[in-house]
Amino acid sequence: SQKIEQNSEALNIQEGKTATLTCNYTNYSPAYLQWYRQDPGRGPVFLLLIRENEKEKRKERLKVTFDTTLKQSLFHITASQPADSATYLCASYSGGYQKVTFGIGTKLQVIP
Amino acid sequence: DVKVTQSSRYLVKRTGEKVFLECVQDMDHENMFWYRQDPGLGLRLIYFSYDVKMKEKGDIPEGYSVSREKKERFSLILESASTNQTSMYLCASTTDRGGGYTFGSGTRLTVV
């Protein structure tokens, strides 16, 4: 079955820098990769989705890439702000009746 | 604003009680899901439903059941609550199985 690996260690970066989070998947290439933001004690909020045939997707300060050779997706937040501090979850969907598989998330702390 | 509403934010129940967690969505989504989230384990799928009256077991269905009598409502039932079911429970829905999920705010259940 598919497994999603995210760096479980927290990522600390300085305000204004670009934060880059990594999501690796094992086995087969997913049809879609999704990224969510989760604040403490709240449900995840969907941010972006990228399809297997897309290399890059952007939304405002967010950028997601999908590299099927490396079996990896990168999630970038440019000009990061303290308000971007949260846990970011990666999820994979393989198509049809397959379920979405979530990673455990990476906690991002943006330091003023 | 579209939403998924979970009936309670916090619940405390006694061991052996039957517990009902309610979830309602106002987006006319066919697909609904119940997850539990525990530190270090991430989101784990308990049950899901792709249509009214339809239900499928997820990865950890033991000790749980579900009901979906109407499209907008998906209920999770703990038949006889146990302390190892203390967790954050999250309901989600989507119109496209691979598309982004809309999550509720979660119910933090404590079984004593």
Alpha carbon distance B34, B43 (integer Å): 10
Say if A65 is an interface residue toward chain B (CB within 8 Å): no
> What is the pLDDT, as a whole number, of residue A13?
96
Grade residue B1 by pLDDT with cuts at 50, 70 and 90.
low
Closest CA to B39 of A4, A35, A40: A40
Q: Cβ contact (<8 Å) for A102 and B100?
A: no
Question: Cα distance from A97 to chain B (closest Cα, Å)?
Answer: 8
Taking a C-beta distance cutoff of 8 angstroms, is the pair A105, B42 a contact?
A: yes
Contacts of A41 in chain B (CB under 8 A): 88, 106, 108
Q: Cβ contact (<8 Å) for A46 and B100?
A: yes
Question: Cα distance from A61 to chain B (closest Cα, Å)?
Answer: 19
Q: Tens digits of per-residue pLDDT, A12-46? A: 999 999 999 999 998 778 889 999 999 999 999 99
Question: Cα distance from B36 to chain A (closest Cα, Å)?
Answer: 11
Mean of pLDDT over chain B: 94
Which of B40, B48, B105 lies nearest to residue A104, judging by beta carbons? B40
Taking a C-beta distance cutoff of 8 angstroms, is the pair A9, A104 a contact?
A: no
Greatest mean pLDDT range, A25-29, A53-57, B38-42, B82-86: B82-86
Q: Cβ contact (<8 Å) for B103 and A43?
A: yes
Grade residue B34 by pLDDT with cuts at 50, 70 and 90.
very high
Question: Cα distance from B83 to chain A (closest Cα, Å)?
Answer: 20
The contacts of residue A66 (CB under 8 Å, 6+ apart) are A33, A50, A51, A52, A54, A55, A56, A73
> What is the pLDDT, as a whole number, of residue B60?
96
pLDDT above 80: residue B2: no
- Closest-approach residue (CA) in chain B for A4: B42
Which of A36, A41, A93 lies nearest to residue B98, judging by beta carbons? A93
> What is the pLDDT, as a whole number, of residue A99?
81
- Residue pointed to by tokens 């979405």: A100
Contacts of A98 in chain B (CB under 8 A): 97
- Closest-approach residue (CA) in chain B for A95: B98
**What is the β-pairing status of strands B42-49 and B31-38?**
antiparallel
Q: Tens digits of per-residue pLDDT, B59-111? A: 999 999 999 999 999 999 999 999 999 999 999 999 887 889 999 999 999 99
